[in-house]
Structure 1
C-alpha cells in the first residue's frame, strides 16, 4: 500500500510544525529544509481549510499535494492574497480511480501555477509545469517533486 497522506511546501520563519498543527494538519512527519526558507513537510491528513488557514497565518504562499495510495496526487496551492489553483498528478492513473478528469483541466492549472510561482517570487518553468500535470509516473510523489522544481522552488528535487 502506498502513501495516502500528503506533502506541504511553504516558507516559514517560525516553528513550522506548530503552525501546521494549528492550521488543522495531522500526522505531521519530518520536515525537509530547502533553500531560501522553503520547507517540505509530510502529513497524514488535512482539514478542508487547513491550507488556507496556514497561508493566512504565515502570510506566505503554500502548495499541498494529497496522495491517493501513491497513485494520484491532488494539488492545491494558495497565496496570501487568496489566489489559488488546483491540479491533478498522474491523470492516467486517476482514470482508473474513476476521478473525473474534466474537474481538473490542465490549462487553468498551468496558468494558476505560473501566477502562484510569480506571487512566491519564484521563476517557474511553464513547459515543465505542464509536463508534471499531464505526465505519468509509477508514483505520484515523483511528479510532485518534479512540480516543485518546475514551480522554481530552490533546492527542490
Structure 2
C-alpha cells in the first residue's frame, strides 16, 4: 500500500511544519530543496492549506495530493492569481473516477511556465511537458521530476 496524503512545496524561511497553514497536522517528512524552497509531506491533507501558505509566504506554492502512490493531483497557485492543475499518471486518475481537468497538457504547460516565472524560476516548457507525461512506478518519483523541471529541485 502506498502513500495517501498531501505534499506542500513553498518558499519559506521557516519550516513548513511550523506554519499555521497546516495547523496541527503531522508532518511525516520535511526537506529543504534549495533556494529557500521546502517540501513537507503531511499525514493526510489540510483543506485550504495551499491558499493559506501562499498568503502567508506571499510567494507561489504548490501541493500534490497523492492517492496510494499511483496518481496525484497537482495544484499550483500564486499571490497574483496564476495557477494550474494537473493529474500525474492520469490513466490511474481516470480508473479511480477522477474528473477530467478543464485544460489540456499544452495549456497546463503554458500556465506552469507562467507560474514558474512568477516564482522567479526559469524553466524549459519541454521539460515540464515531459515530466507531466512521465510514467514511473511511484507517482512521487514523477512529482520529483516535475519539481526538477520547474526548477525547484536540483
TM-score, structure 1 length as denominator?
0.88
How far does residue 128 in structure 1 lie from its aligned partner after superposition? 1.7
Aligned residue in 2 for 1:120: 119
Q: Which has the higher helix share?
A: 1
Q: Which runs of 4+ in 1 moved over 6 A?
A: none
Partner of 2:8: 8
Structure 1 counterpart SS, 2:129:
helix
Match of residue 152 from structure 1: 151
Change (3 A) 1:104 1:4: farther
Partner of 2:64: 65
Q: Secondary structure at the match of 1:30?
A: strand
List alignment gaps of at least 5 residues for structure 2. Answer: none
Note if contact 1:92-1:136 (Cα within 8 Å) is conserved in structure 2. Answer: no
Q: Output the CA distance in 1 between the equivalents of 2:149 and 2:80.
A: 22
The residue correspondences of 1:38-49 to structure 2 (distance < 5 A) are: 38-49=37-48
8 Å Cα contact 1:91-1:135 kept in structure 2: no
Give the distance between the partners of 2:47 and 2:146, measured in 1 at CA.
22
Residues in 2 aligned to 1:4 and 1:10: alpha-carbon distance in whole angstroms: 20
Aligned residue pairs: how many? 153
Paired with 1:40 and 1:150, the residues of 2 have a C-alpha distance of 16
Tell me how far 1:50 sits from its aligned partner. 1.3
Give SS of 2:2's match. coil
Deviates more, 1:22-31 or 1:109-118: 22-31
Match among 13, 17, 21 for residue 23 of structure 1: 21
Q: Distance in 1 between matches of 2:33 and 2:105?
A: 27
Q: CA deviation at 1:102?
A: 4.6
Contact 1:72–1:88, Cα closer than 8 Å, also in 2: yes
Structure 1: 5+ residue stretches without partners: none
TM-score normalized with structure 2 length: 0.89
